[in-house]
Amino acid sequence: MATTITFHVRPAPPASLIKPHFSPACAFHSSSSQRFKMSSAAQALPPLPDNRVVLGCGGLTMDYLAAVASYPSPDDKTRSTSSKVQGGGNAGNALTCAARLGLKPRLISKVAGDPQGKGIIEELEADGVDSSLIVVSEGGNSPFTYIIVDEQTKTRTCIHTPGYPPMTPGELTESNLSAALDGARLVYSDGRLHETALIVAHEATRRGIPILIDAERKREGLDDLLNLSNYAICSAKFPQEWTGAPTVPSALVSMLLKLPNIKFVVVTLGEDGCVMLERSSESGLSEEVDVDDLLETLKLKKDSDTTFPTCVSSNEVKLRAKGIGSVCGRLLLGTAEKIPASELVDTTGAGDSFIGAILYALCADMPAQKMLPFAAQVAGIGCRAMGARTGLPQRTDPRLTSFLV
């Protein structure tokens, strides 16, 4: 039976292997002095990275969000408790986050010349994302997504309608590709528009520009993109599904063995934080440690009492995965912010904001033990408002200061 939902949408191992790292919390107060505090925070921040240009290639949508008290049963009718219309899509969200943090993003994508497409572009430009490379078709429809936010379970359900006609590689001219990559510090792809993204990745590789891939799920062409990538951010299920390994840590070892260009891979685990495997040189590393045992040791060392994001790291060792092999590197366990239930509104786009913060961290040459708590804090702030972009912080947000200095 079909579900009828009434939307009221208003437009608009040994302990010696472990290196703990804890970032101090930074409280946020809504008061009349907020603007002064933000100005003071900006003065305390380090300078922006010299090269802040990042090029993204991927999906855009218009999101129609409706919050409901609880997700309806089949054939039920329900009223929304709140609603919002705003731009979305993995690449659009991640680059919006990066722009608010001070980067200069450029985006390759496609929309139609309909009102939704115009709204998507206008919103990106308002946030400082360069939209000059976005293809606009005369006919067809822009991509859009219905998102139902369940206030009871704090989950969201997405119903996506792809855009038409889809983007083809021929719509990215050689001159536009050259201009897009000129001066870029990083290239990012969300795995969509894979044929176009692969052309971008090949040229980026030829120019020596590092590539970050969002490995959310298995997609056509994703393997080719991963083979060219230097960094990978994965959803919770992807590493094991892609490698067939029995555990997350062993799957990360398998990924580094299969992908020799990858410098690090991160798997995001929602409220459980993230796990990162960072490759290192084999020089001087003789000690071999079981990667699953090492993760359990890291879990014992993390600070379970603090509410703000932290990170615990192993030393550089040979990490062995049973039946798979071993790689030289270090394992890091990052925690997520413990958001009070009264403040948690919507997790839509949390993974995208995490990636946007990682893009900033890479441009700023931020060490991994600082990068993971910073990205988790950015994502946590975004979860306090409805939609993927509403709550994304500016770089001067006082809640980020202690993670940046």
pLDDT single digits (tens) 375-387: 999 999 999 999 9
Say which CATH number the domain at 216 has. Answer: 3.40.1190.20
Q: Report the pLDDT averaged over residues 353-364.
A: 98
Instruction: Region of 170 please: left (phi>0), alpha (psi -120 to 50) or beta.
Output: alpha
Structure tokens at 166: 């889809």
At 224 the three-state DSSP class reads: helix
Query: Is 68 domain-assigned?
Result: no
pLDDT single digits (tens) 168-225: 999 999 999 999 999 999 999 999 999 999 999 999 999 999 999 999 999 999 999 9
Amino acid identity of residue 50, one-letter, is D
Percent share of the chain, pLDDT over 70: 89
Query: Is 285 domain-assigned?
Result: yes
Structure tokens at 111: 């929309």
Query: Is 31 domain-assigned?
Result: yes
- Domain of residue 350: give its range: 15-61+88-141+165-404
pLDDT single digits (tens) 127-154: 999 999 999 999 999 999 999 999 998 8
pLDDT single digits (tens) 226-272: 999 999 999 999 999 999 999 999 999 999 999 999 999 999 999 99
Query: Is 83 domain-assigned?
Result: no
Tell whether the model's pLDDT for residue 118 goes beyond 60: yes
pLDDT single digits (tens) 40-61: 545 589 999 999 999 999 999 9
Domain count, the chain: 1
Tell whether the model's pLDDT for residue 327 goes beyond 60: yes
At 111 the three-state DSSP class reads: strand
175 backbone dihedrals φ, ψ, rounded to 5°? -70, -40
Q: Report the pLDDT averaged over residues 347-368.
A: 97
Query: How is 226-237 classified by DSSP, letter by letter?
Result: HHH-SEEEE-SS
**How high is the pLDDT of residue 4?**
39
pLDDT band for 86, please (50, 70, 90 cuts): very high
**How high is the pLDDT of residue 368?**
97
Structure tokens at 184: 């870029």
b/e per residue 44-61 (b: at least 16 CB within 10 A): eeeeebeebbbbbbbbbb
Cα 392 from Cα 378, distance rounded (Å): 7
Q: Report the pLDDT averaged over residues 365-376.
A: 98
Query: Is 73 domain-assigned?
Result: no
Q: Please list, in sequence order, all residues whose beta carbon lies within 8 angstroms of the beta carbon of residue 180, skipping any fewer than 6 positions away.
A: 55, 106, 108, 133, 200
- Looking at the DSSP assignment, which residues form a beta bridge with residue 104? 53
Query: Is 3 domain-assigned?
Result: no
Cα 241 from Cα 253, distance rounded (Å): 14
Query: Is 328 domain-assigned?
Result: yes
pTM: 0.88
Q: Which helix (H) or strand (E) holds 317?
A: strand 317-321
Cα 313 from chain centre: 21
